[in-house]
Amino acid sequence: MKVRKLSVCLPTCNGERFVAEAIRSILCQTFDEFELIVVDDCSEDRTLEIVRTFADPRMTVYQNDKRLGIPGNWNRCLELAQGEYVCVFHQDDLMLPKNLARKVAVLDAHSTVGMVHSAVELRTEEPAPPFSGNWLEDSPEDLVSEGRTYFRKLFLRENCICAPTVMGRRGLISRVGGFNEGLGFACDYELWMKICLEADLAYLSTPLVIYRWHAENASHDFGFERGLAEAQSAAQGALKYYREKTGAEAEAECLAEALEALGEARRWAVDLERARESLESTIAWLEGQRASWQRATEERESYLKTLEARLPFRLLARLGLLPRRSAPRPES
């Protein structure tokens, strides 16, 4: 079998809602010298059935014997990949037509670049929680950054790389250990930082991937303290690699102190966010109670008006259905 320049990997798990669109967007790329490896992680829906409806010689489908989870399945994809370059895409996102061509060209042109990522076009699928884009790279221009400079940016700012936009050198990714299976949500964050300690990084400011934000995004499971703990663990893992790679102990100590201080600030931010959500929930409950009482009052007044129109005033008053007021004086 011909070894292609690029391996596009599509790890899947219960992705029947979007997976067909994801595959079509990959197969319709302007660059076609790639293999497409689909690895299903024990889906319980129609994902595999849908995937197998595609007949394309570039495509191979695998199914895991047991559930590996996100980082485990991503690493399984890397094990099966044969290309010089690799892209681990997401089952619920879409590639714009020139995504692969643009990124292959960057890696071909810059031998020092270990990975390239890009801007995204956001597509919100309701219902979905509010989206905060402050974690995305915000450079208005394309850039090639010295690796250790970008490492510090990632380390101090947290992750600003959208995983499905990444294309990297497969040998380099394997050499630094692939995705950390001890992490979930932040396994890619740690990997990007390790790559930056080995090579330069490139960014394309043109959106080349449609990133879907919907209620089933796996990242929603890592909110608040859990997400913070994951990010801190990823940064600590990258810092350990930094010490081993550079031997720059003094700078590593400075980075460790900065990480501790940032962690404390981020914990405060999480506490504030929790308090804000709790307050909003309380306000919403109070508003609901107020509206309920308002409706009950209006319904009672309407009911009394109906009764008053049909029954004598004295009978309503005797039944206690009217507020107390002076009874009319009998006619003399």
Cis status, amide bond into 127, omega within 30 of 0: yes
CATH of the domain at 169: 3.90.550.10
Cα(141)–Cα(35) distance, integer angstroms: 30
**Segment 14-25 mean pLDDT:** 96
- Which is more confident, 243 or 305? 243
Residue 79, pLDDT above cutoff 50:
yes
Cα(25)–Cα(211) distance, integer angstroms: 12
Q: Interhelix angle for 147-157 vs 187-196, to 10°?
A: 150
Residue 213, pLDDT above cutoff 70:
yes
pLDDT band at 308, cuts 50/70/90?
A: low
pLDDT band at 72, cuts 50/70/90?
A: very high
Report yes or no on 328 lying in a domain.
Answer: no
Lowest mean pLDDT among 168-172, 178-182, 261-265: 261-265
Report yes or no on 24 lying in a domain.
Answer: yes
**Segment 4-27 mean pLDDT:** 96
Report yes or no on 215 lying in a domain.
Answer: yes
- pLDDT tens-digit series, residues 124-173: 877 655 555 566 898 999 999 999 999 999 998 889 999 999 999 999 99
pLDDT band at 220, cuts 50/70/90?
A: very low
How many other CB atoms are there within 10 angstroms of residue 317's CB atom?
14
- Helix residue spans in the chain (DSSP H): 19-27, 47-51, 69-80, 99-109, 147-157, 170-175, 187-196, 224-246, 249-310, 313-318
Residue 222, pLDDT above cutoff 50:
no
Report yes or no on 326 lying in a domain.
Answer: no
Report yes or no on 291 lying in a domain.
Answer: no
Token pair listed for 32: 């076609």
Residue 270, pLDDT above cutoff 90:
no
- pLDDT tens-digit series, residues 88-116: 999 999 999 999 999 999 999 999 999 99
Amino acid at residue number 251:
E
**Cα 90 to chain center, whole Å?**
10
How many other CB atoms are there within 10 angstroms of residue 262's CB atom?
17
Residue 327, pLDDT above cutoff 60:
no
pLDDT band at 299, cuts 50/70/90?
A: confident
**How high does pLDDT run on average in the chain?**
86
Write out the residue range of the structural domain in which residue 62 sits: 6-247
Would you state the pLDDT for residue 261?
Answer: 81
Cα(119)–Cα(125) distance, integer angstroms: 19
Report yes or no on 254 lying in a domain.
Answer: no
Token pair listed for 173: 């990714």
Whether the Cβ atoms of residue 121 and residue 162 lie closer than 8 Å to each other: no
Would you state the pLDDT for residue 30?
Answer: 98
Q: What length is written for the chain?
A: 332
Would you state the pLDDT for residue 321?
Answer: 63
Give the list of residues 6+ apart from residue 29 with CB closer than 8 angstroms, or none. Answer: 95, 97, 98, 99, 100, 101
Would you state the pLDDT for residue 303?
Answer: 75
Report yes or no on 290 lying in a domain.
Answer: no
- The SS3 assignment for 118 reads strand
Give the list of residues 6+ apart from residue 64 with CB closer than 8 angstroms, or none. Answer: 39, 40, 41, 42, 73, 76
Report yes or no on 12 lying in a domain.
Answer: yes
DSSP string, 225-275: HHHHHHHHHHHHHHHHHHHHHH--HHHHHHHHHHHHHHHHHHHHHHHHHHH
User: Phi and psi at residue 326, in whole multiples of 5°?
Assistant: -65, 130
Share of the chain above pLDDT 70, in %: 81
Would you state the pLDDT for residue 97?
Answer: 98
Most confident of 65-69, 291-295, 301-305: 65-69
Q: Are strands 94-95 and 200-213 parallel, antiparallel or unpaired?
A: antiparallel
Cα(187)–Cα(181) distance, integer angstroms: 7
pLDDT band at 242, cuts 50/70/90?
A: very high
Cα(111)–Cα(327) distance, integer angstroms: 98
Lowest mean pLDDT among 66-80, 197-211, 255-269: 255-269
Cα(98)–Cα(102) distance, integer angstroms: 6
- pLDDT tens-digit series, residues 30-57: 999 999 999 999 999 999 999 999 999 9
- pLDDT tens-digit series, residues 277-288: 777 777 777 787
- Which is more confident, 1 or 196? 196
State the total domains in the chain. Answer: 1
Amino acid at residue number 257:
E
| pTM across the whole model | 0.77
Token pair listed for 132: 């905060």
How many other CB atoms are there within 10 angstroms of residue 24's CB atom?
12
Cα(237)–Cα(234) distance, integer angstroms: 5
